[in-house]
Structure 1
């Protein structure tokens, strides 16, 4: 389930970056609408489609994935036979990576909890809108219902309902609002918004999904504004003035079309923008190979996906449900092998055909280890006693073990609200050395709902009282017991939190700290980001910090563009430049050919089409000295290359204008 969710998030993110880089500034609003809707659907369906084996980049792994070889276990293996691979013990794994299976289970619980919360929010919004629509007085205007509302609320629409306070606006503005909302209804924009909200329910954790919904809403407003200005009764300046009067700073229900104040400036700018040239439609065709590449890279080959599914089903039938993650690789009886190193004893445990596990004890915990002869010894902790039989010869020893659980310990934990009844679970508590006093300490700190699966990594990672106090003193908001596990494993401490806060980062939450630390983002990096970034107060500033780090965008990278005159690059521009590997050197090569102050949109188009300064020189050598960049981009996109021009000249087609060869290429066809 987790791979599918993450794969969907990856596709949605890639499509958003593609849209922002190449499409969002185009005035093909209808086309952009279908791209935005189509990509949402593709993001959830593409991961489910198997690809032919000959197209999959994963076909090399088919055999090993379907039928993995099993490693035989020798019955008479001695401590000296170290050739067989040995897994580290549960305790060692927990100390280093806090039990991946347990973490994945926790992540899934967290994910579905978020889905439930956002689904509930979605239903509540729908109920509120339907209640308002049918509880307030309304006027039927053909297929439209004009619902009168009170107070200083912005007008909006949902389905065929238009919510507006008629007393708030003068007659011309009122009519323009109604016409605007009727366009929303006629074009069924509510369907777009509902689909976007459904995406957010299942992708609530993905910041790019929220940006996707915002991009969709903006495009719908652009589309509606464009339709408004095509009306003979609407004058552009009057309409823009009405928008400024109607704009509201509050945020209405997200299921409705609305007059969001933060979008008004963008809408007015777009209304006054130059219409996109039809030659720029080449950009849209790049989306298809992008999605095909994703499918070839990540989708299972057709044969493999079927075999793997059947294997999974058979494994699920073989594996008993009671065999939980806690007892994997261990049993209460078996064989042991040990090596004494200084003041510690490294022990490996083997149970029948199970893979070996190992752990480390302090030598001082054992009394009377049998030397050079068979004997018995024991190790007692609160969870129970481990009885050993065997002997040591020098630093090495071997024998058998049996764990006896302490049922009183189970009762004491039950009194504290922690249920641990199985001997195998108590053995894990024994290995990690969980004590009743530790549980009481956690409850004293305010963590009353303690699960036994949380105690294992907490104790193994030595999440003690001093550490918890230091995190609380650092003032982290929304801090839960489960957050202590990734915090300690990532070495997030009070000093790191204060460093992040002092850098100017305001949204200090547990999730954000984990994201920052996992990306190795320091306070200095954040300070450099804020000093170098143009958008110092944007809502998505925090997301941009993580994105900048993942793309390795630093102060040196930003300054390199400032040195050649690009002082006002937005965060989106910088990420696009880095993603497309556009360097200052690439830009200066164009300046040498006479093209200066190249816009970022033109740079993206040039790089996407692999247009270089050398290509421009080839065009100029053919006699085209008055070309603008749009001519070159259009020529390369349609295939009117210097080689094509030469071939046409040889056939007697001599034109002084490159655009003529573009038109000729469109006629003869793209080879």
Structure 2
């Protein structure tokens, strides 16, 4: 399985930091928020460790009593299964600052326990509240055939927004029996039904999951495939395309090297040039006459 990266996060979470903190260190502190595209992007700074932060993004409609109008100072709340965030502060020019306090829901831990999930610690419960997951998501995923058995599983499900709807969408796109870990990996690396369909449209249908993930991780897009085909590389495999992206063989690089005389270079030749640090600057430095073409 490919390693985890973090360039892609869900609509609910734009930043996730899980430092090792003492119990209770995250129950209150200062907040900074920015309104963007009908969401409030929050950064929470605990009073005991103001240099730390915990950030997440939530639709404006999820809050109770929230007003982001200029000079608004009304208190507002975010009520989750795991507990309630209470905010006080002031908004100016779609930005807000103030103080926050988190009150955990006493019934939440028992509800998880009834589903076979161990009790989260205080910081984990706050994080679960921030990403908005709990027994309801656990039950919904179980109904879709996926058991969430640990707090870590539930955190990952919440952070990367693995939902029953996502499970069904990938199944309909040709990936019906993915494990929970595979679903999380797909979310992390931006695998969507739309991406699957777009790759199928350029000839890459029914890819193995590892290949699909690698293409997503390394930016092998339908546009990249079409551009490379336009340069004459018409029969590249998924693995070859990933290799080109990893080593920086772009359409611009191909054209640049062809302009220096490497007109017959194969995709493998070009990748080897990149691997060994040979580019247009290097080629020109070897030639007394920059206009003299050089053959591979």
Q: Choose between structure 1 and 2: higher strand proportion.
A: 2
Distance 2:57 2:24 in 1: 15
Pair 1:551-2:248 in alignment? yes
* Matched ranges for 1:3-402 at <5 A: 95-96=13-14, 99=16, 325=19, 331-337=25-31, 346=42, 348-357=44-53, 359=56, 362=60, 365-366=63-64, 380-386=79-85, 398=98, 401-402=101-102
| CA positional deviation for 1:498 | 1.8
The answer to whether structure 1 residue 412 and structure 2 residue 111 are counterparts is: yes
SS in structure 1 at match of 2:116: coil
Correspondence 1:442 to 2:141: yes
Count of residue pairs brought into register by the alignment: 267
Distance verdict in 2 for CA 1:473–1:340, change over 3 Å:
closer
Query: How many angstroms does 1:497 deviate by?
Result: 1.0
Q: TM-score, normalised by structure 1?
A: 0.33
Secondary structure of 1:335's match? strand
Q: Which has the larger radius of gyration?
A: 1
Correspondence for 1:512 among 211, 220, 226: 211
- Change in Cα spacing, 1:546 to 1:524, as seen in structure 2 (3 Å) is same
Aligned to 2:121: 422
Change (3 A) 1:96 1:344: closer
- Structure with higher helix content: 1
Q: C-alpha offsets along residues 18-42 of structure 1, whole Å, 9 cap, x if unaligned? A: xxxxxxxxxxxxxxxxxxxxxxxxx
Q: Check the 8 A contact 1:378/1:387 in 2, yes or no.
A: yes
Conserved in 2, the CA contact under 8 Å of 1:96 and 1:489? no
What is the CA–CA distance in structure 1 between the aligned matches of 2:286 and 2:75, rounded to whole Å?
79
Verify the 8 A CA contact 1:528 1:555 in the aligned structure 2: no
C-alpha spacing 1:95/1:399, structure 2 compared with 1 (3 Å): closer
3-state secondary structure, aligned to 2:153? helix
Q: Take 2:217 and 2:41, find their aligned partners in 1: how far apart are those partners?
A: 33
Once residues 328 and 337 of structure 1 are traced to their aligned partners in structure 2, the CA distance between those partners, rounded to angstroms, is: 20
Task: Tell me the equivalent position of 2:161.
Answer: 462
Which residue is 2:5 aligned to?
A: none
* Contact 1:476–1:508 (8 Å) recurs in 2: no
Give the whole-Å Cα distance in 2 for the aligned partners of 1:525 and 1:393: 46
The offset of 1:385, in angstroms, is 3.6
Structure 2 unaligned regions, length at least 5: 1-8, 68-73
**Partners of 1:405 and 1:355 in 2: CA distance:** 27
Structure 1 residues without counterparts, runs of 5 or longer: 1-90, 102-323, 370-374, 587-605, 618-671
* Conserved? CA contact 2:117–2:151, under 8 Å: yes
CA deviation vs aligned residue, 1:508-541 (integer Å, no higher than 9, x gap): 233322322232211243355467348x48xxx4
TM-score (norm 2): 0.65
Give 3-state SS (helix, strand or coil) of 1:95's partner: coil
